Structure 1
Amino acid sequence: MTAVRRVRDLARSALPRSVGERLPAAPPQEVTELLHDKRFQRAVAEAAEEQGRPEEEVWSEVKGYLHEMSAAHDDRASQGWARMGEWFLRAYDVLVDEEEMHKLRQVDRSHSLALAFSHRSYLDGMVIPNVLMARRFSPTYTFGGANLNLPLIGSIASRTGVIFIRRATQEIPVYRLALRSYIRQMVVNKRNLAWSIEGGRTRTGKLRPPVHGILKYLTDTVQGDGEGDEAPDVQVVPVSVVYDQLHEVSLMTAEARGASKTPEDWRWLVRFARLQRNRLGRAYLTVGEPFSLRDRLDELAAEGITGHQAVERVALDISHRLNRATPVTVTAIVSLALLGADRALTVDEVLDTVEPLATYIEARRWPVAGAADLRDRSTIRRALAELARSGVLATYDGGSEPVWKIDDDQHLVAAFYRNTVIHILVERAIGELALLTVSELEPDAELPEGGPLQVGWEEAKRMRDLLKFEFFFPGRAGFEADLRTELELLVGEDVTDMAPERARELLVSARPHLAHLVLRPFLDAYLVLADRLADRGDSPVEEDDLMADALAVGHQWALQRRVASAESISLELFRTAVALARHKGLLEGGEGIGTAREAFAAELRDSVRRVNIIGEIAAGVATSAPSQPRHRQESR
């Protein structure tokens, strides 16, 4: 009952001191201003006319929605909420780049901030407000799902700036009018706003595709409505929050295997609070490069990109900057090494994979969480011990030296941690496949005008298209520029030509090899679903049935080792594969569609074949390397 009492006592500490204080004497400022705003009054009247309803009825509905979503900042509630947040975060030390925070604090003094954050945990809603409040930022209003508006806790949270909003609003036009207008008024009043660009927690560890709702209303506000008033601007700030480990990952991975989602209620909250008793390392909050939303929209308009396309481009900009700001954690790198091997490894064997990765990460100037030394033996050993303590890894120390492996049914958990950094490795992995394609060219092969190198570029672009629903890629020009950078890292100079023999030499000598570590889990999952789709022939397909079939057959393939790892058997990965198949027009039945489905499966089989060759090359390099005594220094 300790967790129950603690949650209750912390909630009570945030309540008003008297019943008279329980409800504000008047609605929050933004609601009052909206109700008296002529523009808003006209919008409500127009909505009533469009829907053929009495205006009084629509006003009653819109006032109810504004009351439902409105939030305020009460000092007593905010202080109590901060204490509750600290208690919920007791499993972590929260690390913040104070220099970044100082720079952002200067922006906060003169601009309204739109903080678009990554969403890996329910704890994000406590990390971000606590960090900003402790550094005396202007009060921030955070959008949260209405599913978290629990009795008592919800009423307190709304007094600390939490705006609870519904997710499915397509059939509620008046609700969308109220929310759009409320957001506009918040920006006019220079409030700071925070929301998850993904719309909900990731189930895989990497960023989900962005949801455009809140961003669309912000762009509407910044672009104005042509009524003469100067439209306000906001500074969009990508905010990344990443954790060494998370207690809730096991629940999310169970859902990826088909389990039902646990509903959020008081019992769920108490269970979640109890989970935080056990220490799990650190949480890292980092800030990406802010940008003016108005300036970015003007740039896109100059390129002829407006409307929904502009919103999509801005959302992708935010996602790219979030990925760029997300630091590499030691947990992620260790998980990458163990998932790639899928067997027990010693510390030295883990370091054999991690060391070339550390060199690559330095060359690409990716940030490392906590400035950790990825080559330090004790740092790696500590991460292995912490993963073993939480049950992700199993340890055996009855032999000549300890070994670690991913424990049974923990592959998806380890994959979650690895996927927090997978975005930094994807283009290198695709570059390896492009080199392999060039190396496999026959001497008498008919080549395009650009020769073998052009064949490699085309293979890279094909992989980009195959994985575009899984990862955030830059535009084609930016993607090619990134691949050239990867090739320069391999060769040491700009490459203008590439013979098959040279491509093979580069591929064999490359360190690290990443395609099998990074791409194989996704391609294996896609292949399972493509196989089940091809099995339907020309028949139409029901998506839920297709995924259920893929889940069942995927388990069979995992037992047969026809897929490299059990992590590929995930509803989250199958959903992305379905999105790709839908994009290719393969879900609807019809004469000849079975042939196209079989071609899709054949393409994936060949892609998996190529990735497996990279794995074989990596294994050959590892076994052929001379054994050297290790003199790594351990930090004390």
Structure 2
Amino acid sequence: MSADPHVHVARSPWWFKLLGRLLEPWVRIKRDPAEPAGLLRSGAAVCYAIERDGTSDALILERACREAGLPSPMQLLELPGRRRRSVFSLSRQHGWLFGRTDSRGPKEPIGQMIRAIEADPERDIQVIPVSIYVGRAPNRESGWFSVLFAENWLVVGRFRRMLALLLNGRDTVVHFSEPVSLRTVLSESQGLTSERLTRKIARVLRTHFRRIRAAVIGPDLSHRRTVVDAVLNAQPVRDAVAATASKENISHAKAERRARDFALEIAADYSHPVVRSTSFLLSNFWNKLYDGIAMHHFDKVRAAAPGHEVIYVPCHRSHTDYLLLSYQLHHSGVVPPHIAAGVNLNLPVVGPILRRGGAFFLRRSFKGNAMYSVVFNEYLAQLVDRGVPLEYFIEGGRSRTGRLLAPRAGMLVMTLRAFLRAPRRPVLFQPVYIGYEKLMEGKSYVGELTGKPKEKESLLGLIRGLKVLRQRYGHVTLNFGEPILLTPMLDAAAPDWRETTSEADSKPEWLNSVVDDLAEKIQVNINRAADVNPINLLALAILATPKHAMAENDLLAQLELTKSLFQELPYSDRVTLTAMNPQGIIAYGEQMQWIRRVRHPLGDVLVTEGEQAVLLSYFRNNVLHLNAAAAWVAACFLNNRRMSRSSVIRLGKIIYPFIQGELFLPWDDEGFAKQVQDTIEFFVRRGILEASSEGRVLERGPGQDDGAYQLRVIARSMLQAFERYYIAIAALVKNGPHTMSAGELETACTLTAQRLGMLNELSAPEFFDKALFRGFIQKLREAKVVWTDDNGKLDFAEALEDMVRDAKVILAREVRHSILKITPGGDNERDLDARPPSDPGETTAESLHDRHVANEHQRHHGEH
């Protein structure tokens, strides 16, 4: 770079050098980029622009420039009327403790440089914006005060800045941006006066620094009042205020105060110091609680997220879900999201901390309160518009069974409408699977499922719950699923969606279908990112035995088979599987006190008993979807020694929509058929099934055979689902058409399942979960097998009776009779097993496949 005659080398004041030497041991600088000299333009003088005034920033800048071989900010620039240092700040700072700023700072030096260039057509000055962050790294956890004095949006005084340097100076980043040529700016701004051009450059620099700071430490939402004011000034809220004042005959001021109260009740009060302090506290909390927290596929999230409005949509299994996710994101250098939390968590002491950590609160229902609904919608729209990452649980509440719950679309609808109103940046939904090995809320979940009322959250209850810290809860895994981009879904559903009105209350006709598809896809992608831990594998095996006990050799073989199944037929490339071998899994289960060893001379037996067995069902249900295809194939051989391959696949296609709706499986009918085919081939390779007649006929070994035992264990993981389906269709057919409403059928099914569970000591509370019966009945409606008549009663097609008869293939006669005996029925009560086919020329599915098998067997082996 050629020398500029208008630049003069000058010595730094002695006190500046002294302070620099005193500061040097406390500061370690990381430059970004590492070699910023490559950014400079030849032939132009250099002037640095920094965000905040202060001696410490000037010292850091001078040292960073010296170490990088850049011109010193201490050199003098010759400007009209005076010489000045080659650095200026966007704001002047006053005050030793808290700090005050004067935004007039940059106008004088920028104006002088503009006038100098105007006076000399050959002269140019390049302004390099330099961002300085002290202690900005989110994973800085060396001490309590370190996180309190880390970089944030707050204006701080000299004393606080000094403390920040002493505590966090070794984590200092100096970011050099591309230089701005003032000559180029001047030539491109013809017609602007020097004063207006000065203001424009100052405004552009402020925007630049805010954008860089937001990327490093998150958006500036420290002052809740600014967001609340924006919400109250929005036209939809102003209209709602006016409508409320008119409808309730109250003053406009009173209605406005009510709207402000709603906004303050909802809004987060995000605080970077609180987030960092909480992160510091949580690191100790997690160490007491868990043996480790693992994240998988996070690198893919980091690569996909830039430039998007990111919305994290995890499964909801524990109150620790949102703390864990935010902590891990913060710890990994990503801005934690704002989290939609139920207003029941807005407790004394706890609520303000959660609010400052990014939680915003919503009521369970918006019904009957139009103004609250408008205010909440507008608040969410403001967050989306500002690019704030969000997190919410579309299940609506924590799962008490371990399965994903049917999604509730409220937050998705509000998010989509906010995006359609102002589609400034594309929206990306990020599904997250959270897997535990033990739950703090496990006992309360069991109580709620067995009829006990949900305990209301309270500060006293929280204090009492601190006893959970005495226990260990194993490992936790966060798996990031495949992200879902909103724009392609909108393009597919409505190619002209960009022309949709931007009015806040607009609701296009296609919106509901897009939301339903999106919700389904989120749940599917959460399941496609499952983590299979040792407790999941133990639960799949040991709960499939009548007394929840297995000989150690049998359990070892079953664990090996299940691991091999998941490895050879991967459900998804994002599913993770424990590396423990079967012996290690059993030892770990004993260590975690999920199973107990009973010593015996003929071989040890592993058991799980009582409440532990019920709690363990939660972890079986976490991964039940991974076992669905194998369980179906195995179930076909529970009561049948032989079966044709085509019957296994045909009946599988009939039952698949119901399994898919319950477990959020990813395949269509043909995809499931292929998965069944692949599973059959796996069982044949393992010698568990034998294929004959050119693969058309499948046969298992006798009941006492090891392979038959392993099939029974796999089948029983899903057998209760098939029994639930039979309860529902049997109750409906037994009572006859036009006799029961959907609600009455749900109640009858639930009571029947509860009674059956009591008689058979079932340890699966979800067996009598009313929501699962409701979902099954809805699937029957979607398939147009069941519908509602004009009187609100259910009618059904003949296909439903065929399904009752098809159940003979899967369910043993004693199970069917037990269900039919318990199921309440009216005047139409009858023995469904004894019913003849509706057409004398028909035959049942059971006799059909038996006849086919017999023919194949006779043709190829000469005997039946």
TM-score, with structure 2 as normaliser:
0.58
Query: d(CA) in 1 for partners of 2:630 and 2:404?
Result: 19
Please tell me whether residue 300 in structure 1 is matched to residue 493 in structure 2.
Answer: yes
Q: What stretches of structure 2 of length at least 5 have no aligned partner?
A: 1-143, 149-220, 498-508, 686-690, 702-706, 816-864
Partner of 1:621: none
How far is 1:490 from its partner?
A: 5.3
Partner of 1:269: 462
Larger RCO (CA within 8 A; separation ≥ 6): 1
Question: Counterpart of 1:280 in structure 2: which amino acid?
Answer: Y
**1:350 maps to which of 535, 555, 561:** 555
Is the 2:657–2:779 Cα contact (8 Å) retained in structure 1? no
Is the 2:437–2:535 Cα contact (8 Å) retained in structure 1? yes
Query: d(CA) in 2 for partners of 1:462 and 1:574?
Result: 23
Question: Counterpart of 2:620 in structure 1: which amino acid?
Answer: R
SS in 2 for 1:203: coil
Is the 2:730–2:804 Cα contact (8 Å) retained in structure 1? no
Query: d(CA) in 2 for partners of 1:132 and 1:108?
Result: 13
**2:519 maps to which of 315, 318, 324:** 315
Deviates more, 1:156-165 or 1:25-34: 25-34
Is the 1:534–1:594 Cα contact (8 Å) retained in structure 2? no
Please tell me whether residue 29 in structure 1 is matched to residue 226 in structure 2.
Answer: yes
Please tell me whether residue 341 in structure 1 is matched to residue 538 in structure 2.
Answer: no
SS in 2 for 1:295: helix
How far is 1:271 from its partner?
A: 3.0
Query: d(CA) in 2 for partners of 1:597 and 1:536?
Result: 14
Is the 2:312–2:391 Cα contact (8 Å) retained in structure 1? yes
Please tell me whether residue 93 in structure 1 is matched to residue 330 in structure 2.
Answer: no
CA RMSD of aligned residues (A): 4.2
1:384-424, Cα deviation, whole Å (9 max, x unpaired): 442xx2xx434422555432222024433121110111111
Query: d(CA) in 1 for partners of 2:805 and 2:472?
Result: 43
Partner of 1:5: none
Q: What stretches of structure 1 of length at least 5 have no aligned partner?
A: 1-9, 15-23, 443-451, 493-497, 616-636
1:219-276, Cα deviation, whole Å (9 max, x unpaired): 112223xxxx544322211111110111311210221111111111122212332123
Partner of 1:150: 347
Question: Counterpart of 1:416 in structure 2: which amino acid?
Answer: Y
Query: d(CA) in 2 for partners of 1:157 and 1:599?
Result: 52
Partner of 1:379: 585
Please tell me whether residue 520 in structure 1 is matched to residue 713 in structure 2.
Answer: no
Is the 1:438–1:503 Cα contact (8 Å) retained in structure 2? no
How far is 1:457 from its partner?
A: 4.3
Query: d(CA) in 1 for partners of 2:278 and 2:407?
Result: 28
1:452-493, Cα deviation, whole Å (9 max, x unpaired): 73x55442232123335422134445444544554565578x
Is the 2:740–2:794 Cα contact (8 Å) retained in structure 1? no
Partner of 1:577: 773
Please tell me whether residue 467 in structure 1 is matched to residue 681 in structure 2.
Answer: no
How far is 1:571 from its partner?
A: 6.8
Deviates more, 1:269-278 or 1:539-548: 539-548
Rg bigger for which structure? 2
Question: Counterpart of 1:177 in structure 2: which amino acid?
Answer: V
Question: Counterpart of 2:569 in structure 1: which amino acid?
Answer: R
SS in 2 for 1:567: coil
Is the 2:318–2:398 Cα contact (8 Å) retained in structure 1? yes
Question: After the TM superposition, which residues 40-439 of structure 1 pair with which residues of structure 2 at under 5 Å, given as runs?
Answer: 41=238, 58-86=255-283, 88-89=285-286, 90-97=288-295, 100-224=297-421, 230-301=423-494, 306-343=510-547, 344-366=549-571, 372-386=578-592, 389=593, 392-397=594-599, 399-432=601-634
Query: d(CA) in 1 for partners of 2:727 and 2:464?
Result: 35
Query: d(CA) in 2 for partners of 1:233 and 1:149?
Result: 31
SS in 2 for 1:566: coil
Question: Counterpart of 2:437 in structure 1: which amino acid?
Answer: D
How far is 1:289 from its partner?
A: 1.6
Is the 1:538–1:592 Cα contact (8 Å) retained in structure 2? no
Is the 2:599–2:605 Cα contact (8 Å) retained in structure 1? yes
Question: Counterpart of 1:63 in structure 2: which amino acid?
Answer: R
Query: d(CA) in 1 for partners of 2:558 and 2:469?
Result: 32
Query: d(CA) in 1 for partners of 2:725 and 2:423?
Result: 49
More helix by share: 1
Query: d(CA) in 2 for partners of 1:350 and 1:500?
Result: 33
Label 1:583 to 1:103 Cα distance change in 2 as closer, same or farther (>3 A): closer
1:163-187, Cα deviation, whole Å (9 max, x unpaired): 1111212332222222221111101
Label 1:295 to 1:599 Cα distance change in 2 as closer, same or farther (>3 A): closer
Label 1:307 to 1:275 Cα distance change in 2 as closer, same or farther (>3 A): same
Query: d(CA) in 1 for partners of 2:374 and 2:794?
Result: 45
What is the count of residue pairs matched by the alignment? Answer: 568
Query: d(CA) in 1 for partners of 2:318 and 2:604?
Result: 32
Partner of 1:17: none
Label 1:258 to 1:523 Cα distance change in 2 as closer, same or farther (>3 A): farther
1:290-337, Cα deviation, whole Å (9 max, x unpaired): 232223322333599931011010111111111011111110111111
SS in 1 for 2:291: strand
1:355-396, Cα deviation, whole Å (9 max, x unpaired): 11111111133579885335341233222442xx2xx43442
Is the 2:340–2:392 Cα contact (8 Å) retained in structure 1? yes
SS in 1 for 2:532: coil
How far is 1:525 from its partner?
A: 3.6
How far is 1:346 from its partner?
A: 2.9
Deviates more, 1:536-545 or 1:405-414: 536-545
More strand by share: 2
Label 1:76 to 1:351 Cα distance change in 2 as closer, same or farther (>3 A): same
Query: d(CA) in 1 for partners of 2:478 and 2:222?
Result: 37
Label 1:49 to 1:323 Cα distance change in 2 as closer, same or farther (>3 A): farther
TM-score, with structure 1 as normaliser:
0.77
Label 1:209 to 1:25 Cα distance change in 2 as closer, same or farther (>3 A): closer
Query: d(CA) in 1 for partners of 2:468 and 2:740?
Result: 41
Question: Counterpart of 1:244 in structure 2: which amino acid?
Answer: E
1:84-107, Cα deviation, whole Å (9 max, x unpaired): 544553321342236x33443344
Query: d(CA) in 1 for partners of 2:283 and 2:715?
Result: 40
Percentage identity across paired residues of the two chains: 20
Is the 1:335–1:418 Cα contact (8 Å) retained in structure 2? yes
Question: Counterpart of 1:466 in structure 2: which amino acid?
Answer: F
